[in-house]
Structure 1
Amino acid sequence: MAVPSLATPLRRRTLDRLEREAFDCVVIGGGITGAGVAREAAMRGLAVALVEARDFASGTSSRSSKLIHGGLRYLAMGDVALVRDTALERKRVFALAPHLAERRWMLVPARSYAGLLKFRAGLATYEALGAVEEADRHRNWNAEDLAREEPLLRRDRFPYACAYREYVTDDARLVLANLRDAVLRGAVAINHAAAVEILVQDGSAAGVAIECRASGRRVRVRARSVVNAAGPWVEAVSRLEDPGAPPRLHLSKGVHVGIAAARLPLRHVAILGAADKRSIFAIPRGGVVYLGTTDTSYGRGADEEPPVTRADVEYLLEPVPRYFAGAPPTPEDCVTAWAGLRPLLAEPGKSAVELSRRDEITRGPAGVVTIAGGKLTGYRKMGADVVAQVAEALGEPLAPARDEDAPLPGGDFDGDLDALARRCAREAGVDARTAARLVRLYGTESLDVAARGAQPLVAGGAVVAGEVDWAIDVEGALDACDVVYRRTRAALYDPDVRAALPSAVASRMAPRVGWDDARAAREAARVAAQLEADLSFREEAP
Structure 2
Amino acid sequence: MSIATISTHERGSTLSALARESFDLIVIGGGITGAGIARDAARRGLSVALLEAADFASGTSSRSSKLIHGGLRYLERGEINLVRKTALERKEIYKAAPHLCEPRWMVMPMSGRTKLYSLRIAVTTYERLGAVDRKDGHRAWSGSTLAEKEPVLDRRKFPHALAYREYLTDDARLVLANLRSAAAAGATLINHAPVVGLLRSGDRAIGVEARCELSGELLSVQGRMIVNAAGPWVEAIQRLENPAASPLLHLSKGIHISIPASKLPVRNLLVLDTSDKRRIFAIRRGDVVYIGTTDTTYEPGAEVWPTIEREDVDYLLAPVSDYFSCGPLGPGDIVGAWAGLRPLIADPTKKNPAELSRRDELLLGPLGILSVAGGKLTGYRGMARRVLDSVAEGLGRALPEPGDEPPLPGGDFDGDLKALASHLGQTHDLDEPTAGRLARLFGTEAEQVLALGAQPLYPGATCVEGEVPWAVAREGAAKLEDLLYRRTRLPLYGLDPRAAIAPLAARMASELAWDDERQRAEIAHAQARLDADLGFT
Secondary structure of residue in 2 paired with 1:5: coil
In the other structure, the counterpart of 1:526 is 525
Residues 141-290 of structure 1: pairs in structure 2 closer than 5 A: 141-290=141-290
Please report how far the alpha carbon of residue 4 of structure 1 lies from its aligned counterpart in structure 2 after TM superposition.
5.4
Residues 45-96 of structure 1 deviation map (CA, whole Å, 9 limit, x = unaligned): 1111100000000000000000000010001221111000000000000000
| Residue 396 (str. 1) matches residue 397 (str. 2) | yes
In the other structure, the counterpart of 2:79 is 79
In the other structure, the counterpart of 1:504 is 503
Single out whichever of 52-61 and 75-84 deviates more from structure 2. 75-84
Contact 1:427–1:447 (Cα < 8 Å) also in 2: no
| Residue 406 (str. 1) matches residue 406 (str. 2) | yes
Residues 287-306 of structure 1: pairs in structure 2 closer than 5 A: 287-306=287-306
**Alpha-carbon distance in structure 1 between the residues aligned to 2:128 and 2:91:** 13
Contact 2:364–2:371 (Cα < 8 Å) also in 1: yes
Contact 2:96–2:408 (Cα < 8 Å) also in 1: yes
Please report how far the alpha carbon of residue 402 of structure 1 lies from its aligned counterpart in structure 2 after TM superposition.
4.4
Contact 1:502–1:525 (Cα < 8 Å) also in 2: no
**Alpha-carbon distance in structure 1 between the residues aligned to 2:341 and 2:81:** 24
In the other structure, the counterpart of 1:371 is 372
**Alpha-carbon distance in structure 1 between the residues aligned to 2:281 and 2:315:** 12
Secondary structure of residue in 2 paired with 1:193: coil
Secondary structure of residue in 1 paired with 2:498: coil
Please report how far the alpha carbon of residue 487 of structure 1 lies from its aligned counterpart in structure 2 after TM superposition.
0.3
**Alpha-carbon distance in structure 2 between the residues aligned to 1:458 and 1:70:** 39
Residues 478-514 of structure 1 deviation map (CA, whole Å, 9 limit, x = unaligned): 0000000000101110123x22211111101012111
**Alpha-carbon distance in structure 2 between the residues aligned to 1:273 and 1:384:** 35
**Alpha-carbon distance in structure 1 between the residues aligned to 2:134 and 2:414:** 18
Residues 230-278 of structure 1 deviation map (CA, whole Å, 9 limit, x = unaligned): 0000000101111111110000000000000111111111000011110
Residues 423-502 of structure 1: pairs in structure 2 closer than 5 A: 423-496=423-496, 498-502=497-501
Please report how far the alpha carbon of residue 202 of structure 1 lies from its aligned counterpart in structure 2 after TM superposition.
2.4
Contact 1:287–1:493 (Cα < 8 Å) also in 2: yes
Contact 2:320–2:328 (Cα < 8 Å) also in 1: yes
In the other structure, the counterpart of 1:329 is 329
Contact 2:509–2:519 (Cα < 8 Å) also in 1: yes
Q: CA RMSD in A?
A: 1.0
Please report how far the alpha carbon of residue 440 of structure 1 lies from its aligned counterpart in structure 2 after TM superposition.
0.3
Contact 2:251–2:341 (Cα < 8 Å) also in 1: yes
Residues 334-363 of structure 1 deviation map (CA, whole Å, 9 limit, x = unaligned): 000000000000001311010010000010
In the other structure, the counterpart of 1:28 is 28
Please report how far the alpha carbon of residue 369 of structure 1 lies from its aligned counterpart in structure 2 after TM superposition.
0.6
**Alpha-carbon distance in structure 1 between the residues aligned to 2:221 and 2:303:** 26
In the other structure, the counterpart of 2:516 is 517
**Alpha-carbon distance in structure 1 between the residues aligned to 2:108 and 2:286:** 22
Please report how far the alpha carbon of residue 332 of structure 1 lies from its aligned counterpart in structure 2 after TM superposition.
0.9
Secondary structure of residue in 1 paired with 2:26: strand
Please report how far the alpha carbon of residue 39 of structure 1 lies from its aligned counterpart in structure 2 after TM superposition.
0.5
Secondary structure of residue in 2 paired with 1:225: strand
Letter in 1 for 2:513: G
Please report how far the alpha carbon of residue 43 of structure 1 lies from its aligned counterpart in structure 2 after TM superposition.
1.3
Contact 1:252–1:342 (Cα < 8 Å) also in 2: yes
Residues 345-364 of structure 1: pairs in structure 2 closer than 5 A: 345-350=345-350, 351-364=352-365
Secondary structure of residue in 1 paired with 2:116: helix
Residues 60-139 of structure 1: pairs in structure 2 closer than 5 A: 60-139=60-139
Letter in 1 for 2:462: A
Letter in 1 for 2:196: V
**Alpha-carbon distance in structure 2 between the residues aligned to 1:4 and 1:299:** 39
The total of aligned residue pairs comes to 535
Secondary structure of residue in 2 paired with 1:512: helix
Letter in 1 for 2:427: E
Secondary structure of residue in 2 paired with 1:12: helix
**Alpha-carbon distance in structure 1 between the residues aligned to 2:147 and 2:285:** 21
**Alpha-carbon distance in structure 2 between the residues aligned to 1:278 and 1:202:** 50
Secondary structure of residue in 2 paired with 1:246: coil
Letter in 2 for 1:331: P
Please report how far the alpha carbon of residue 433 of structure 1 lies from its aligned counterpart in structure 2 after TM superposition.
1.1
Letter in 1 for 2:298: Y
Secondary structure of residue in 2 paired with 1:99: helix
**Alpha-carbon distance in structure 2 between the residues aligned to 1:501 and 1:472:** 17
Secondary structure of residue in 2 paired with 1:147: helix
Please report how far the alpha carbon of residue 3 of structure 1 lies from its aligned counterpart in structure 2 after TM superposition.
3.2
Contact 2:29–2:53 (Cα < 8 Å) also in 1: yes
Please report how far the alpha carbon of residue 133 of structure 1 lies from its aligned counterpart in structure 2 after TM superposition.
0.9
**Alpha-carbon distance in structure 1 between the residues aligned to 2:433 and 2:135:** 28
**Alpha-carbon distance in structure 1 between the residues aligned to 2:287 and 2:526:** 20
Contact 2:4–2:409 (Cα < 8 Å) also in 1: no
Contact 1:428–1:451 (Cα < 8 Å) also in 2: no
Please report how far the alpha carbon of residue 458 of structure 1 lies from its aligned counterpart in structure 2 after TM superposition.
2.0
Contact 1:505–1:524 (Cα < 8 Å) also in 2: no
**Alpha-carbon distance in structure 2 between the residues aligned to 1:50 and 1:236:** 17
**Alpha-carbon distance in structure 1 between the residues aligned to 2:326 and 2:302:** 38
Secondary structure of residue in 2 paired with 1:448: helix
* Percent identity (aligned): 56
Question: Residues 4 and 10 from structure 1, CA distance in 2 versus in 1: closer, same or farther, beyond 3 angstroms?
Answer: farther
Please report how far the alpha carbon of residue 429 of structure 1 lies from its aligned counterpart in structure 2 after TM superposition.
2.6
Question: Residues 4 and 131 from structure 1, CA distance in 2 versus in 1: closer, same or farther, beyond 3 angstroms?
Answer: closer
| Residue 385 (str. 1) matches residue 386 (str. 2) | yes
In the other structure, the counterpart of 1:342 is 342
**Alpha-carbon distance in structure 2 between the residues aligned to 1:205 and 1:180:** 27
Letter in 2 for 1:134: R
Residues 313-332 of structure 1 deviation map (CA, whole Å, 9 limit, x = unaligned): 00000001111112111011
Residues 136-188 of structure 1 deviation map (CA, whole Å, 9 limit, x = unaligned): 10000112211111111110000000000000000000000000000000101
**Alpha-carbon distance in structure 1 between the residues aligned to 2:100 and 2:216:** 35
**Alpha-carbon distance in structure 2 between the residues aligned to 1:528 and 1:458:** 18
Secondary structure of residue in 2 paired with 1:165: strand
TM-score by length of 1: 0.98
**Alpha-carbon distance in structure 1 between the residues aligned to 2:440 and 2:505:** 24
Secondary structure of residue in 2 paired with 1:224: strand
**Alpha-carbon distance in structure 1 between the residues aligned to 2:119 and 2:533:** 36
TM-score by length of 2: 0.98
Secondary structure of residue in 2 paired with 1:108: strand
Letter in 2 for 1:439: A
**Alpha-carbon distance in structure 2 between the residues aligned to 1:288 and 1:313:** 16
Contact 2:253–2:295 (Cα < 8 Å) also in 1: yes
**Alpha-carbon distance in structure 1 between the residues aligned to 2:233 and 2:144:** 50
**Alpha-carbon distance in structure 2 between the residues aligned to 1:271 and 1:409:** 31
**Alpha-carbon distance in structure 1 between the residues aligned to 2:63 and 2:101:** 16
Single out whichever of 281-290 and 3-12 deviates more from structure 2. 3-12
Residues 373-429 of structure 1 deviation map (CA, whole Å, 9 limit, x = unaligned): 0000000000111111011011111112144x2100000000000000011112223
**Alpha-carbon distance in structure 2 between the residues aligned to 1:429 and 1:8:** 30
